[in-house]
């Protein structure tokens, strides 16, 4: 009897331009210190769940959300660079801790004009802080929330 490992994939967290982590203008993410994953730039500010799971935590500064997948992996969705300093102002969180989400559930809305006026990058970063290995399926191109971007 053969057992097949189920394919686990993260979809895009936004409609925008997918980037490899190495292109992120923050060494903590670009050096993969925070784990493997991908980034999205040039988006409309709407941030969606990349996979089915449960919202494990919402940072007090609202700039990051952790999701635990059905199979136990933890995913960090980090909105913007150095945005912790903004104390949550540009973020409107649409979920609550403990909420079940599916790929495509709206997690948050980022106020892009407020980020621009605060001179902050609006790049969204999605990583596995637990150092899970994976493969970026697309890079340096336009994507939608329907696109599968990262296989693990």
**Which of 5-9, 12-16, 115-119 has the least mean pLDDT?**
5-9
| Count of C-beta atoms within a 10 Å radius of residue 51 | 24
Q: What is the mean pLDDT of the chain?
A: 95
Give the model's pLDDT for residue 69.
96
Q: How far is CA 46 from the centre of its chain?
A: 11
> How does 113-134 read in b/e, with b if 16+ C-beta sit within 10 Å?
ebbeeeebbbbbbbbbeeebeb
Q: What is the pLDDT of residues 32-66, one digit of tens each?
A: 999 999 999 999 999 999 999 999 999 999 999 99
For the segment 79-116, what is each residue's pLDDT rounded down to a tens digit?
A: 999 999 999 999 999 999 999 999 999 999 999 999 99
Q: What does the pLDDT read at residue 1?
A: 45
Domain ranges of the chain: 9-132
Q: What is the pLDDT of residue 26?
A: 96
pLDDT higher than threshold 60 for residue 5: no
**Is residue 4 predicted with pLDDT exceeding 80?**
no
Is residue 43 flagged as an active site residue? no
pLDDT recorded at residue 131: 84
Q: What is the mean pLDDT of residues 110-126?
A: 97
- The yes-or-no verdict on residue 150 having pLDDT over 80 is yes
d(CA 11, CA 38): 10
> CATH 2.70.70.10: does it fit domain 9-132?
yes
Q: What is the pTM of this model?
A: 0.95
């Amino acid at each position: 009897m053969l057992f097949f490992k189920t394919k686990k994939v993260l979809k895009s967290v936004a409609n925008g331009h997918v980037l490899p982590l190495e292109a992120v203008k923050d060494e903590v993410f670009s050096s993969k210190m925070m784990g493997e994953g991908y980034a999205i730039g040039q988006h409309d500010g709407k941030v969606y769940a990349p996979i089915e799971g449960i919202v494990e935590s919402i940072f007090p500064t609202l700039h990051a959300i952790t999701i635990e997948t059905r199979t136990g992996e933890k995913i960090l969705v980090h909105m913007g660079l150095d945005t912790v300093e903004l104390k949550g102002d540009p973020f409107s969180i649409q979920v609550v801790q403990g909420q079940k989400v599916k790929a495509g559930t709206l997690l948050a809305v980022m106020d892009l004009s407020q980020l621009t006026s605060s001179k902050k990058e609006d790049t969204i970063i999605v990583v596995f802080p637990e150092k899970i290995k994976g493969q970026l399926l697309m890079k340096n191109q336009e994507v939608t929330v329907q696109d599968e971007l990262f296989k693990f």
